[in-house]
Structures are given as C-alpha cells and as structure tokens.
Amino acid sequence: MLTENHRKESLSRAYVQAIAGHAGLNIKLEQNVQQHDYGVDGTIRRISLVDGEREDTGFCLDFQVKATIQWKCEGDDVIYRMKASSYNKIVRQNNRTRALPRILILMCLPRDPTAWLDTDEERLLLRKCSYWKRLVGDPTEDSHCTIRIPRSNRLDSDAVKSLLAKVESGEWQ
C-alpha cells in the first residue's frame, strides 16, 4: 500500500489532469518525480486549431502540486505552511526574466482520508478542491514559510485557461 503522502500526491495529480482535460488543454506530468524532483510536477500547454489541425501553441505554464490536510481558511484566504526549499524554487523561477512561469497548486484535502474520494455509477467525487498562486518576491531564509492563497484562486477549467492567457499575453514576463 502507498504511503499517505503518495496517495495525496496521486489524487492531486489526477485533479490537475482532470481540470486541464476539461479545459481542452494538454498536460505533461513529470514522471519519476520522487527520483528527479527539481520543483516541477508538470506543465500545462495550450493547444489551438490551425487550418483544421490541432497544434501546440508553445504557450505553457509549469506547476508544482502540493496536497495537504494541513490547511485552514482564514477569511478570504487559504493558509498553508510550506517548506522554504519548495517555496524558494518557485520564487526563483518566477523572478527570472523570460523564464517559464511556475505556479503552486495546493490541493486541500479533508483530514479524514476516507472522505478524500467517493465513487458510484453517477460520479467520481474528489473532495475538497485546489487553489493556485504565482509566488514572487524574495526567497526566504527560514525553514518554512506561511503563504496565503485567495480563495478566489480556485483551480478550475476557466482559471487554467485564464492563467495560460496571462502567459500568452506576456503579462507574466
């Protein structure tokens, strides 16, 4: 049986893959993440229809996924304490001029593992949801940092399309 952390990771990757698929976007999930984890779990790529054929536009967005039961809502924000090393990798990438933007995707799971997933003939229900944040600024020298993600940054099909539009327009360069 997988460890609890690996189960959470599997569910978070499935969530992102389902959202990207529903949005009509292509997704590349990094394989062998445990062996070669350099701060990127995957890339979402925009596809367009040109002369009746689908092609990759070249506009894409890297992401790092974290799945946790250690989160809380405080007003309009989701609060999460993460390792500084993970935070710093994302911040350094986003601080580089012309680098591919990277977002943090935080999957907030219920504390009870039996509530994470439910299925029947009509549905597949994955509980709670994921939020996204583009981390920028100065890296931290602490061992951990607390981040606040606006609850309005819920990861859904429209959000992913909007994020890629920001990449395509150059807003995140």
* Segment 72-94, tens digit of pLDDT: 999 999 999 999 999 999 999 99
Instruction: Give the Cα separation of 129 and 17 in Å (integer).
Output: 13
**Cβ distance 127 to 67 under 8 Å?**
no
* pLDDT, tens digit (0-9, with 9 covering 90-100), for 106-132: 999 999 999 999 999 999 999 999 999
- Pick one of 1.10.10, 1.10.3470, 3.90.1200, 3.40.1350 as the CATH number of 4-169: 3.40.1350
Average pLDDT, the chain: 92
Longest dimension (CA), the chain: 52
- pLDDT value of residue 85: 94
Q: What is the pLDDT along the chain (173 residues), one digit of tens a residue?
A: 889 999 999 999 999 999 999 999 999 887 654 445 678 899 999 888 899 999 988 899 999 999 999 999 999 999 999 999 999 999 999 998 888 999 999 999 999 999 999 999 999 999 999 999 999 999 999 999 999 999 999 999 999 999 999 999 988 87
Instruction: Give the Cα separation of 33 and 16 in Å (integer).
Output: 16
**Helix, strand, coil % (nearest 5) of the chain?**
25, 40, 35
Instruction: Report domain extents, the chain.
Output: 4-169
- pLDDT value of residue 99: 86
Rounded to whole angstroms, what are the CA distances from 16 to 25, 53, 73, 115, 132?
11, 25, 21, 19, 11
